[in-house]
Homo-oligomer: A and B are copies of this chain.
Amino acid sequence: MSTVEIEYCVPCGFRERAVRVQQAILSGLERELDSVRLVMGDHGVFRISVDDETVYDKAEAGDEFDVDAIVREIRSHVA
């Protein structure tokens, strides 16, 4: 099964956003995953990966942040 990683910028206060997307991932995919890892980062990072493959990166997505779309993207990687 797969591991999802959510790296977020601590000084930017992105923890709440990271926990929110983690909750959505667990609600939808808990039984299909090995683990979900929150990684403390900085310099504005907010990146989500599945088995080291990036599925969302704030540096590219800008302000666009659709939790449902992110969960669907992750689901397509773990199916």
Chain B CB within 8 A of A70 CB:
no
B37 near A37: Cβ-Cβ < 8 Å: yes
B19 near A31: Cβ-Cβ < 8 Å: no
* Chain A residues within 8 Å of chain B by Cβ, number: 16
Known A10-B31, A31-B10; judge A38-B26 contact (CB<8 A): yes
Give the contacting residue for A30; candidates B15, B22, B23, B36; CB below 8 A: B15
A to B CB contacts below 8 Å, 9 in the list: A19-B22, A22-B38, A30-B40, A31-B40, A35-B39, A35-B40, A36-B37, A37-B37, A37-B38
Partner-B contacts on A (CB < 8 A) = 10, 15, 19, 22-23, 26, 30-31, 33-40
